Amino acid sequence: MIDAGPVVMMRGEARLGWQAMEASEAPSTAIDVAVIGGGPAGSAVSAFLARLGRRVALIEKSRHPRFHVGESLLPSNLPILERLGVSEAVAAIGRYKPGAEFVSPHHEQRQVFPFADALNPSPDHAYNVTRAEFDELLLRHAAAAPGVDLWEGYTATGAERLPDGWRLTLRGENAPAEIRARFLIDASGRDGFFAKVESVRQRSPRHNSAAIFAHFRDVSSDAWAADGSIAIYWFEHGWIWMIPLRNGLTSVGAVSMPDYLKTRKGPLDAFFIETLKMCPKAWTVLQNASRVSPVRGAGNYAYTAKKAFGDGYLLLGDAYTFLDPIFSSGIYFAMQSAERAAEAVNVVLDRPELAGRLFSRYQRELDNAMARLTWFIYRFNSPILRNLFMKPRNFFAIRKAVVSILAGDVYRGGTLSLRLAVFKTIFHLSRLANLRTDREDRRRREVLPSISLPDNEIADRL
Ligand SMILES: Cc1cc2nc3c(=O)[nH]c(=O)nc-3n(C[C@H](O)[C@H](O)[C@H](O)COP(=O)(O)OP(=O)(O)OC[C@H]3O[C@@H](n4cnc5c(N)ncnc54)[C@H](O)[C@@H]3O)c2cc1C
């Protein structure tokens, strides 16, 4: 299956195991798959493909460890980490996370949803992780797999379609390089390699928030009822996350609606603190904490690509779709799509005629699973959904179904679908019973202006 001949044309730099060549000498392609991006999606798909006997070039523009937002995993992540062979290593760097908690300005009591209460049997916990550590662990694990060549510090800058695959141009820290591969996987996250090359990305018109976040030390333990849980605090303009990490650090972020973001006048760090103060219950537990990282912003929020695949390529993780992180689902979808993609690509490399069928199924399953969450995400700031979350009745095991969703159980149908349908019906009946509130909420969302926060804005001052 694997042609052992040299496949890479190096310019100005020798690499172990590769041979410098002129373009005209280039042999047929021995790399099966070039993966752009060494985040959770790219590292996972590389490791899974290598296990299937494929030869992979994994290209990552930065050098790990590097900062990344998104620190809360879901119970549904754990079986994937297990299959990947990294579950113990992740447990060692993670903070045990037993559930999710919600705090509302309009409700006395917080709501605690332990993962152990889920409808279907699934792990009763997850982990919160520092992404610099987690992503490096996954990247090194992939790079150690026989068949994976890691190109760390190389940015993919162009891709040319050839009759037998792709010619990929890379910008290295010291010199450019080219790789030829039979198949291309875009796991480049929010940067979106293919989104830029092929203009395939469309922003979600229905969800246009942005996030501002930083790490804090000495957040009061009153922030959480159950040690290690993620706590979500609603406020007038959105919601705030508090994710306890190891070593006394807490990741704190505010996801706000664009009409509020438009009111920002000063620098990002001052605006962040002003925003946190707008949520008195959150500020009470934060006021004596110290910020220990720069304040960062992520704009250009929710989007999806028109298609998850094309002729000779496939999109994974955030390179395909980005959902609002309220349900901490990003890493799960990134790794889940990676595992499914590896299986499909492995078959298609031998039987290209199956590409349309297998990749359509890959996209359909992913879209359906995400749709489960988007229903909740689009309504998350609605007072009516908030009421249902804050006073969940377990009639017909609906509360358990909500816990299953919070745990990332989004691929399963059966009784879970039925119970979620009942939950949605109750939501719509509540809307009818609260017509004025519903109308005001919808009006606010209909007139949302476009975002006023650039992606990756950083306020470096501490
Ligand atoms: C504010 C916010 C909060 C979030 N909170 C959570 C959370 O609590 N839990 C959760 O599960 N998810 C969360 N997410 C989402 C999560 O961070 C992402 O879904 C996840 O990182 C996706 O993984 P990925 O591998 O697809 O992309 P990434 O992790 O972004 O990895 C992409 C990699 O590709 C590299 N790259 C990009 N372009 C190129 C190129 N041209 N050449 C080479 N390399 C390239 C990048 O350097 C990067 O390392 C959050 C996201 C945001 C914005």
Q: What is the Cα–Cα distance from 267 to 264, expressed in whole angstroms?
A: 8
The number of distinct structural domains making up the chain is 2
**Contact indicator for 209, 255 with CB cutoff of 8 Å:** yes
More confident residue, 391 or 174: 174
pLDDT for 450: 56
pLDDT for 4: 30
Ligand 1 contacts (CB < 6 A) are 36-42, 59-62, 68-72, 155-156, 187-191, 193, 211, 213, 253, 298, 317-319, 325, 328-332, 334
One domain, residues 295 and 229 = yes
DSSP character at residue 338: H
Q: How does the average pLDDT of the chain come out, rounded?
A: 87
One domain, residues 62 and 147 = yes
Exposed, middle or buried by CB within 10 Å (0-12, 13-18, 19+), for 250?
A: buried
Domain assignment present for residue 76? The answer is no
One domain, residues 412 and 451 = yes
Given pLDDT bands bounded at 50, 70 and 90, which one contains residue 207?
Answer: low
Average pLDDT over residues 57-67: 97
Domain boundary among 312, 346, 369: 369
Q: Name residue, tokens 């992939």.
A: 142
Which residues lie below 8 Å from residue 193, measured CB to CB, with a gap of 6+? 36, 37, 156, 159, 186, 319
**Contact indicator for 158, 169 with CB cutoff of 8 Å:** yes
Given pLDDT bands bounded at 50, 70 and 90, which one contains residue 23?
Answer: very low
Average pLDDT over residues 373-392: 83
Report CA(300)–ligand 1 centroid distance (Å): 14
Q: Name residue, tokens 């070593």.
A: 247
Given pLDDT bands bounded at 50, 70 and 90, which one contains residue 137?
Answer: very high
pLDDT for 430: 84
One domain, residues 107 and 36 = no
The beta strand positions in 288-436, using DSSP E, are 290-291, 295-298, 303-305, 309-310, 313-315, 321-322
More confident residue, 10 or 270: 270
pLDDT for 19: 32
**Contact indicator for 106, 280 with CB cutoff of 8 Å:** no
Domain assignment present for residue 213? The answer is yes
Whether the per-residue pLDDT at 416 is higher than 60: the answer is: yes
Given pLDDT bands bounded at 50, 70 and 90, which one contains residue 446?
Answer: low
Domain assignment present for residue 271? The answer is yes
Average pLDDT over residues 49-73: 97
Given pLDDT bands bounded at 50, 70 and 90, which one contains residue 452?
Answer: low
Domain boundary among 369, 393, 418: 369
Given pLDDT bands bounded at 50, 70 and 90, which one contains residue 26?
Answer: very low
Given pLDDT bands bounded at 50, 70 and 90, which one contains residue 422?
Answer: confident
Report CA(190)–ligand 1 centroid distance (Å): 6
Average pLDDT over residues 198-226: 85
pLDDT for 377: 84
Report CA(362)–ligand 1 centroid distance (Å): 20
Domain assignment present for residue 82? The answer is no
Given pLDDT bands bounded at 50, 70 and 90, which one contains residue 193?
Answer: very high
pLDDT for 385: 86
One domain, residues 282 and 421 = yes
Domain boundary among 310, 345, 369: 369
Domain assignment present for residue 375? The answer is no
Q: What is the Cα–Cα distance from 136 to 392, expressed in whole angstroms?
A: 39
One domain, residues 294 and 364 = no
pLDDT for 457: 67
pLDDT for 29: 60
Whether the per-residue pLDDT at 2 is higher than 50: the answer is: no
Average pLDDT over residues 310-321: 95
Share of the chain above pLDDT 70, in %: 87
One domain, residues 138 and 171 = yes
For a substitution probing ligand 1, which of 61, 141, 168 has the most ligand atoms within 8 Å of its CB? 61
Given pLDDT bands bounded at 50, 70 and 90, which one contains residue 259?
Answer: confident
pLDDT for 261: 86
One domain, residues 273 and 236 = yes
Q: What is the Cα–Cα distance from 117 to 119, expressed in whole angstroms?
A: 7
One domain, residues 44 and 112 = no
Q: Are strands 95-97 and 126-128 parallel, antiparallel or unpaired?
A: antiparallel
Average pLDDT over residues 265-287: 95
Angle at 371 between CA 328 and CA 312, to 5 degrees: 90
DSSP character at residue 450: P
Whether the per-residue pLDDT at 11 is higher than 70: the answer is: no
* Stretch (H or E) spanning 363: helix 355-379
- As a whole number of angstroms, the longest Cα–Cα distance in the chain is 73
The beta strand positions in 172-223, using DSSP E, are 176-186, 201-203, 210-217
Q: What is the CATH number of the domain that holds 318?
A: 3.50.50.60
One domain, residues 241 and 350 = no
Q: Which residue has the CA at smallest separation from atom 19 of ligand 1?
A: 330
Domain assignment present for residue 79? The answer is no
pLDDT for 22: 37
Q: Give the strands of the sheet with 201-203, arranged side by side.
A: 201-203, 303-305, 321-322
257 φ, ψ (degrees, to nearest 5): -80, 150
Domain assignment present for residue 92? The answer is no
One domain, residues 47 and 158 = yes
Q: Which residue has the CA at smallest separation from atom 38 of ligand 1?
A: 188
Whether the per-residue pLDDT at 456 is higher than 90: the answer is: no
pLDDT for 455: 64
Which residues lie below 8 Å from residue 320, measured CB to CB, with a gap of 6+? 186, 304, 305, 308, 337, 366
- How many other CB atoms are there within 10 angstroms of residue 62's CB atom? 15
Domain assignment present for residue 90? The answer is no
More confident residue, 381 or 132: 132
Whether the per-residue pLDDT at 218 is higher than 60: the answer is: yes
How much is the ipTM here? 0.99
Comparing CA positions, the residue from 49, 366, 3 lying closest to residue 185 is 49
Q: What is the CATH number of the domain that holds 107?
A: 3.30.9.100
Q: Which residue has the CA at smallest separation from atom 17 of ligand 1?
A: 70
Average pLDDT over residues 105-112: 92
pLDDT for 8: 36
Report CA(437)–ligand 1 centroid distance (Å): 36
Q: What is the Cα–Cα distance from 320 to 432, expressed in whole angstroms?
A: 36
Report CA(39)–ligand 1 centroid distance (Å): 6
One domain, residues 288 and 332 = no
Judged by average pLDDT, the poorest of 205-209, 215-219, 350-354 is: 205-209
Report CA(434)–ligand 1 centroid distance (Å): 39
Whether the per-residue pLDDT at 447 is higher than 50: the answer is: yes
Given pLDDT bands bounded at 50, 70 and 90, which one contains residue 445?
Answer: low
Q: For residue 169, what are the domain limits?
A: 8-68+132-203+302-369
Whether the per-residue pLDDT at 122 is higher than 80: the answer is: yes
